[in-house]
């Protein structure tokens, strides 16, 4: 019997004893929480129980998968491929189609079955939440885009919903589409098209060219280079941040091994919910800023 096996047996024994003591203490102090001292003891025994359970489960998993543990991180710039109906697709593309289909079906269910008729006098619950989010995006777009907010706010809202669902897909074991450079570049390219379309619509072709030669025609090449760099910058920023979050989660799971029970799930609340919200906000506000510069 080697040192590792002896340590494993000791950890299992210690965690089992702590678990039993924690459970006994937890249930024995359950009816003594009427004062501060009793509540404190009750919480301490609960903490001991949870820690002992985590240690026991982690040790058992590590002992079962001994030899398979270690740091194994693999990632690529482009997504893996999958064959469907005789054609090859990127896995992130298939996930993206699934997200689009899911959001579409949820929208139909929401509109047809849950709220066939909106309550315009006193909206409540889910309807109120949806209306508040839509109103927030409309006001947000109006402050940045002015007269163009009515046509661009729905796209920006849809973009935010897509990015949030794309991040959540990682919780189900999929690589999020926004961690694929092809997807983020396509999103950046749409922003690039909107910049020029809105600029030409506002000022005309001559006005758009004139704005790029102001105050002197010498800066025209730099202006063109700056505009071309916009989709690349947006794509790389979003791709890097989302891929970085995915790598951190994989590192956490790999390093903790069997002791990762529950911890990656808590960390996932940040990397799969809060962090993507920040990235969605940054991408949308930068897109609006660039469009606003073109129509000024």
Domain ranges of the chain: 3-64, 81-295
Which pLDDT tens digit goes with each residue over 33-78? 667 777 777 788 788 787 777 777 767 766 665 544 455 556 666 7
Q: Is 30 helix (H, G, I), strand (E, B) or coil?
A: coil
Q: DSSP states of 209-232 as a string?
A: HHHHT-S-GGGHHHHHHHHHHHHH
Cα separation, 16 vs 148, in Å, equals: 64
Q: Is 269 helix (H, G, I), strand (E, B) or coil?
A: helix
Cβ neighbours of residue 289 closer than 8 Å, sequence gap 6 or more:
144
Q: CA gyration radius for the chain?
A: 27
Structure tokens at 148: 């163009």
- pLDDT for the residue 67: 47
Which pLDDT tens digit goes with each residue over 177-193? 888 888 899 999 999 99
Cα separation, 58 vs 137, in Å, equals: 45
Report the DSSP beta bridge partners of residue 82.
Answer: 89
Dihedral pair phi/psi, residue 163, rounded to 5°: -65, -35
Residues of the chain with pLDDT under 50: 67-69
Which pLDDT tens digit goes with each residue over 22-43? 777 777 777 766 677 777 777 8
- pLDDT for the residue 189: 93
Length of the chain: 296
């Amino acid at each position: 019997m080697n040192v590792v096996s002896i340590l494993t047996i000791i950890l299992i024994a210690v965690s089992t004893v702590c678990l039993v003591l924690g459970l006994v203490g937890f249930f024995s102090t359950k009816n003594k929480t009427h004062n501060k001292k009793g509540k404190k003891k009750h919480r301490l025994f609960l903490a001991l129980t949870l820690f002992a359970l985590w240690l026991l489960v982690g040790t058992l998993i590590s002992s079962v998968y001994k030899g398979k543990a270690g740091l194994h991180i693999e990632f690529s710039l482009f997504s893996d491929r999958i064959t469907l109906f005789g054609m090859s697709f990127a896995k992130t593309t298939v996930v993206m189609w699934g997200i689009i289909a899911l959001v579409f079906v949820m929208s139909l269910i929401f509109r047809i079955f849950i709220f066939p008729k909106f309550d315009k006098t006193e909206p409540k619950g889910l309807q109120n939440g949806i209306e508040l989010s839509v109103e927030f995006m409309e006001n947000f777009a109006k402050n940045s885009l002015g007269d163009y907010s009515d046509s661009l706010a729905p796209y920006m809202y849809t973009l935010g919903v897509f990015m949030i669902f794309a991040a959540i897909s990682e919780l189900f074991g999929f690589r999020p589409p926004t961690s694929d450079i092809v997807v983020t570049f396509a999103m950046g390219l749409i922003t690039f098209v909107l910049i020029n379309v809105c600029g030409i619509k506002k000022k005309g072709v001559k006005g758009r060219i004139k704005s790029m030669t102001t105050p002197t025609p010498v800066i025209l090449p730099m202006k063109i280079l700056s505009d071309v760099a916009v989709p690349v910058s947006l794509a790389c920023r979003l791709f890097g941040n989302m891929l970085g979050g995915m790598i951190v989660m994989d590192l956490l799971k790999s390093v903790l091994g069997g002791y990762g029970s529950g911890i990656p799930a808590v960390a996932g609340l940040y990397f799969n919910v809060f962090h993507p919200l920040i990235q969605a906000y940054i991408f949308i506000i930068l897109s609006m800023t660039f469009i606003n510069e073109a129509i000024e």
